[in-house]
Amino acid sequence: MRYGIIADVHSNLEALRAVLDILKEENIDRFLCLGDIVGYGASPNECVEQIRRLKSEVVIGNHEWGVLHPEILPFFNPVARQAIEWTRKELFWENLKYLSGLEVVKENELFSMVHSSLYEPTGWHYIFSAEKAELSFSRMKGMICFFAHSHQAVIYSKYRQERCRGFAFPEGGEMFIEEDHRYLINPGGVGQPRDGNPQASFAIYDTELKKVEIRRCDYDIGKAKQKILKAGLPSFLAERLVYGV
Ligand code: ZN
């Protein structure tokens, strides 16, 4: 089985299309989407519709949660809040309905999926340290948990009961799943990478080869920027795409 793994699309249709074009050539059997399909960018309906059309497993992100639960908006920074309020007005009813049906955590015998953390999934915590990663490992059932939220490709690996180790996934990096290890893997952000590289980031998981690859690709950043400005969203959201921050 080959999985295409995407996260943090953030209404960036240009980035999503570029990633899906590559994955079309990769014999993907199923897609995993780790939430934040919307927020920040200017194409929420188009992005939700693209994801709905894929054979995919999807979990909800904090930006969808914000769209559906306006009472949590004070917890977002002003720029994110403004984009969520704009997104809520833009989304068609059927897309809102689709988002409201998404689960917070999905688990099977092989892997789990969550947007933020397994230890308090709707607390929307970032996993930026081995300490935080350990809290999620303590709740993990399978060997791998795919997570997102930080928009940075990273992996934490844990051998039996030893303390886990975290490291950045190098560009074009691949990693083999080893016996007696468990993993927390973030594929990076499709529509708003934040590791200083503006290219879209995504992953491929091959269960037969026991291999996870992180890929990066160019997309039409100029067009995504223009659409954000034309929609009247904060200009910072357009500028940050150029720098990948
Ligand atoms: Zn996000």
As a whole number of angstroms, the distance between CA 117 and CA 135 comes to 8
pLDDT tens profile 189-244: 999 999 999 999 999 999 999 999 999 999 999 999 999 999 999 999 999 999 99
pLDDT tens profile 80-90: 999 999 999 99
Residue 55 binned pLDDT confidence (cut-offs 50, 70, 90): confident
Ligand 1 center from residue 10 Cα (angstroms): 7
pLDDT tens profile 116-127: 999 999 999 999
Which residue ranges make up each domain of the chain? 2-243
Ligand 1 center from residue 148 Cα (angstroms): 7
Contact (CB, 8 A) for 126 and 89: no
Q: DSSP code of 40? A: S
Q: Which residue has the tokens 């809102």?
A: 96
pTM (2 d.p.) = 0.96
Distances (CA, A) of 222 to 54, 79, 189, 194: 26, 20, 18, 17
Ligand 1 center from residue 30 Cα (angstroms): 22
Ligand 1 center from residue 161 Cα (angstroms): 31
Class of domain 2-243: alpha beta
As a whole number of angstroms, the distance between CA 73 and CA 38 comes to 15
Ligand 1 center from residue 16 Cα (angstroms): 14
Ligand 1 center from residue 193 Cα (angstroms): 9
Ligand 1 center from residue 122 Cα (angstroms): 14
As a whole number of angstroms, the distance between CA 212 and CA 111 comes to 13
Contact (CB, 8 A) for 218 and 18: yes
pLDDT tens profile 143-196: 999 999 999 999 999 999 999 999 887 656 899 999 999 999 999 999 999 999
Ligand 1 center from residue 160 Cα (angstroms): 31
Helices 78-90 and 235-243 sit at what angle, rounded to 10 degrees?
110
Q: DSSP code of 149? A: S
